[in-house]
Chain A
C-alpha cells in the first residue's frame, strides 16, 4: 500500500507541476466548492512552525510555511500519515507543497494535496481532493442500520 501511494504521489506530483498555476490571485473559494486542479498553487518555502492540533482549520496538522510573499497556513492532513510515508517535517525544512487556497468559515487555509521535502513526496489528497491520510471514505459500520438486526 505504501509503495503504491509513493509511486502515485510521484505521478501526481509530475502532473501537478505541469498543471499548477504559479500564483492564484483570485479570491479563495469555500471548502464546499470542492477541489480543482485548475486552481492549484505550487508553494515553495520554509517550515516556520508545525501545529498538530490546529484550531483554525480542518482537523489535523497545519504547517506554517514562510514563502517569498508571506506566511501561509497549510493543512497537510495528519502528521501520522506523513510519518507513515517516511516524511517528517520540522521547523527550518525547505518544502514544496501543491494545493489550493480555501476559506474555511472566517479563516483562510491552504489545503495541501502533495507535500514534498527533498526527494520525498507524499500525496495527502487525491487529484480530486479526497483525503488519503484516513484512507479515503470510512463508512462506519454504525451508519449501516440495515446491516443490524437479525432479519433472515
Chain B
C-alpha cells in the first residue's frame, strides 16, 4: 500500500521549489517570487482544525490524472494524529488504501497554511491549504511530486457508527474523471437511499467521451468499512447504472454528504453525493431567478472551462452571459476565450422533471457559437450540479464537463460590497513559453479586497508547465463590479513572481460569499471559485 505514495518521491524530478529569491531565477522556465507579508488579522489558528476532516482532491501526477479522497484527524495544536486515504493513480497502478500515521499543519490568522500527511511508509504529502470557514478549506498540492486541487470539510464523527444506515432519502451526486480508456466522463444524478444500505431508485446522466446518455436508472448498495468505518467514516458503494456496475470508496461527512472515489481503475472519478434539501420544484414555474454556473472539462482542442449566468422564468432562459475558455485559437495568437453572446441568442428554454427528482435541462443557441445545452440536478431549490452536453454547431456533444449552478442572491452587488477577506482555489492548464510544456497548474491563496476593489494577499501554486512550486508569493489585483454585478465582471491578479504573471478573469458573483471565475488569457485555461473566509 505504501507504494502509492512512496513512488511519488521519484516523480517530477525536474520541479524546482522556488525560494524567495531575487529575480535571478527563471532558468528553464522556473519561477521565483517575492514573499507575501505575514497576515495581521483573522480568526484562524491551529486550534481551528480539531477533529476529523474528509478531503477530496484530483490532479496530475506522473501517471496522468489521479484522485485521492480520505480522512485525517487534527488535534487542534498543529498535529495530525491519524487517518486513511484512497488513491487512484497510474503510478500505483490502481487504487490503494493507505493509512495516515502522522503529520503536521500550520494555519495563519488569515486561514492560509500548510498541511502534511505522513503515511505508514514514512512518505509525506505536502499541501497548501486555506480555510474558507472554521469547518472547511481548500487544498492545493505543493510538494513537487504532483499537482492537484481539492477541499476538505469537518466530519461528524458521531455518525460514523450509523453508516450506512444513516444514509436515507434523496441525494444528488456529481462524480467525474476519466473512463477506462482515459477519455473524460461525467456522472450527475439523483438516488434515493433506503436507510438500510440500499439505493432503491435513482436516475443518472452520463457524458462519457462526448456521448450523452440521457437519463438512466440507478440502483445500488452501501457498506461500512470494518477497518476504517468507525474511526474515519470510510465505506464502499456500488452503483448500478443502467446495468453497469460502478464501484466506489466513500467517506461520510455526515448523514447528508459522502465523498466518493471510483475504484474501477483505470477509470478514475471523484465527487460528492449530497442530500437533497428543501422543496424541489416539479414545474418550471417553481424554478425562477438568476443563476450563476461554473463548469470544467474537455473539448476537442483540450481543456475547456466555462462560467456564466442565466435568468430563468416560466421555461424561458434570458440574459445569457457565458465565458468559454476552451484552449482553441480564435483570432490572432492562441487567444482561447469566447464571450457569449457572440451572436444572437435564441431557442432559450429550460425544463424541470415533474417527478420531483430535481432533474432539468437548460439550452440556448448563439448564432455565432452554436448550441449550449446542460443537464442539471437540483440539490436544493437554489443549488444544482450541472453537466455540459453542448453540441456547438454539430448534433453530438462537443464537450464533456460538469460543475455547479447556484442562484444569485443578495444583489445588487458592488465593488465596495465585495470588500473583505477571501480564500480561493483555481485550477487549469497552461503552456510555458520557455519550456514548451503544456501541463496542469493549481493555485490556493488568500487576500484582502478594499472597498475600491484593490486586492493584496498571498498565494501558493504548482505550475508544472514551468517546473515550479511557489509558496508564499505576494499577489495584488483588482475586482471591478459592473452594473448591478449580476452579469460579467472583471477580475485581475498579478503574481509577484519572476517572471511576473498576470491572470485576467471574467467573474460571476453568486452571493455575498461566493464568486466564480474563468480565465480570459492566452496560454492558459483556468477556472475556480473564490469564497469569503472572514
A31 and B271 contact, Cβ closer than 8 Å, known pairs A57-B329, A152-B256: no
Contacting B at CB under 8 A, from A22-75, are: 29-35, 52-61, 75
Please choose the segment from A13-21, A88-96, A124-132 that sits at the chain B interface, where 4 or more of its residues have CB less than 8 A away: A124-132
* The stretch of B128-136, B195-203, B490-498 that contacts the partner chain: B128-136
Cβ of A102: which chain B residues have Cβ within 8 Å of it? Answer: 300
- Determine the residue in chain B with the shortest Cβ distance to A139: B176
Give the CA-CA distance A137 to B135 in the complex, in Å: 30
Establish whether residues A147 and B259, one from each chain, have CB atoms under 8 Å apart when the complex forms.
yes
Instruction: Say yes or no: is B82 at the interface (Cβ < 8 Å to chain A).
Output: no
Q: How far is the CB of A86 from chain B (nearest CB, A)?
A: 15
A134 to B400, CA, bound (A): 13
Inter-subunit contact B431/A53 (CB<8 Å): yes
A142 CA to B391 CA, complexed, in Å: 24
Partner of B297, one of A55, A56, A79, A139: A139
Q: In the complex, what residue of chain A is closest to B404 when comparing beta carbons?
A: A145
Distance, CA A130 to CA B299, complexed state (A): 7
Q: Contacts A135-B64, A151-B256 hold; do A1 and B401 have CB atoms under 8 A apart?
A: no
Please indicate the chain B residues that have their CB under 8 angstroms from the CB of A4 in the complex.
180-182, 266
Q: How far is the CA of A118 from the CA of B57 in the complex (A)?
A: 39
Could you give, for residues 389-425 of chain B, a 1 whenever the CB lies within 8 Å of some chain A CB and a 0 otherwise? 0011110111011111010000000000000000001
Q: Is the CB of A58 within 8 A of B56?
A: no
Contact flags (1/0) for B425-460 with A, using CB distance below 8 Å? 111111111001111101000000000000000000
Given contacts A55-B333, A140-B149, A151-B256, contact A31 B184 (CB under 8 A): no
- Give chain B residues whose Cβ lies under 8 Å from the Cβ of A29: 393
A58 to B369, CA, bound (A): 17
Interface assignment of B282: CB less than 8 Å from any CB of chain A: no
Q: Assess whether A1 is in contact with B266, with CB atoms less than 8 Å apart.
A: yes
The answer to whether A148 has its CB under 8 Å from any CB of chain B is yes
Contact A80 B439 (CB under 8 A): yes
Among B64, B295, B403, B528, the one with the most A-chain Cβ atoms within 10 Å of its Cβ is B64
Contact B404 A32 (CB under 8 A): no
Q: Which residues of B contact A125 (CB under 8 A)?
A: 300
| Cβ of B72 under 8 Å from chain A | no
Question: In the complex, A90→B272 CA distance in Å?
Answer: 44
Do A33 and B56 form a contact, CB below 8 Å, given A58-B328, A135-B182, A137-B176?
A: no
B525 interface neighbour in A59, A130, A143, Cβ under 8 Å: A59
Q: Is the interface on chain A under 10, 10 to 19, 20 to 34, or 35 or more residues?
A: 35 or more
A5 CB contact (under 8 Å) in B136, B153, B182, B330: B182
Contact of A53 among B181, B370, B406, B436 (CB under 8 A): B436
Question: For this complex, into which size category does the number of interface residues on chain B fall?
Answer: 35 or more
Q: Which of the residues A8, A34, A104, A145 comes within 8 Å of B529, measured between beta carbons? A: A145
Q: Which residue of B lies closest to A79 (CB)?
A: B436
At the interface, yes or no: A111 with Cβ under 8 Å from chain B?
yes
| A141 contact set on B, CB distance < 8 A | 56-58, 148-151, 270, 425, 427
Chain A hits for B332, CB < 8 A: 106
- The secondary structure that dominates the A interface is loop
B383 at the interface (CB under 8 A from A): yes
Question: Is B73 on the interface with A (CB-CB < 8 A)?
Answer: no
A26 to chain B, nearest CB (A): 15
Identify the closest chain A residue to B299 (Cβ).
Answer: A31
Contacts of B404 in A (CB 8 A): 143-146
Q: Per a CB cutoff under 8 Å, which of A61, A104, A151 touches B329?
A: A104
Complex Cα distance A34/B391, Å? 8
A59-B334, A143-B295 known; A138-B303 Cβ under 8 A: yes
Residue of A nearest to B137 (CB): A148
Given contacts A136-B179, A138-B440, contact A58 B527 (CB under 8 A): no
Q: CA A146 – CA B376 in complex, angstroms?
A: 13
Contacts of A104 in B (CB 8 A): 301, 328-330
Cα–Cα distance between A102 and B255 once the two chains are bound (Å):
49
Which chain B residues lie closer than 8 Å to A111 at the CB level? 300-301
Residues on A with C-beta less than 8 A from B155 are: 152
Say how far A34's CB is from chain B's closest CB, in angstroms: 4
**CB within 8 Å for A59 and B303 given contacts A143-B403, A146-B383:** yes
> Which B residues touch A58, using CB under 8 A?
301-302, 327-329, 334, 336
Q: A1-B266, A58-B301, A135-B182 are in contact. Are A148 and B531 (CB under 8 A)?
A: yes
| B contact residues around A138 at 8 Å (CB) | 58-60, 65, 184, 296-298, 303, 429, 440
Tell me the bound Cα distance from A111 to B327 in angstroms: 13
Measured between alpha carbons, how far is A130 from B181 in the docked complex, in Å? 11
Assess whether A32 is in contact with B333, with CB atoms less than 8 Å apart.
no
Chain B: CB-nearest residue to A149: B136
A80–B438 CB distance below 8 A:
yes
Question: Cβ of B136 and Cβ of A148 under 8 Å apart?
Answer: yes
Q: What 7 pairs across the A-B complex have the smallest Cβ distances?
A: A137-B184, A52-B436, A152-B254, A150-B135, A136-B184, A32-B392, A105-B330
A-B contact pairs, 11 of them (CB 8 A): A1-B90, A79-B437, A137-B296, A138-B298, A139-B402, A140-B149, A142-B425, A142-B529, A147-B174, A148-B132, A151-B253
Question: Given contacts A53-B433, A136-B178, could you give 4 more A-B pairs where the C-beta distance is less than 8 Å?
Answer: A34-B392, A75-B301, A130-B184, A140-B428
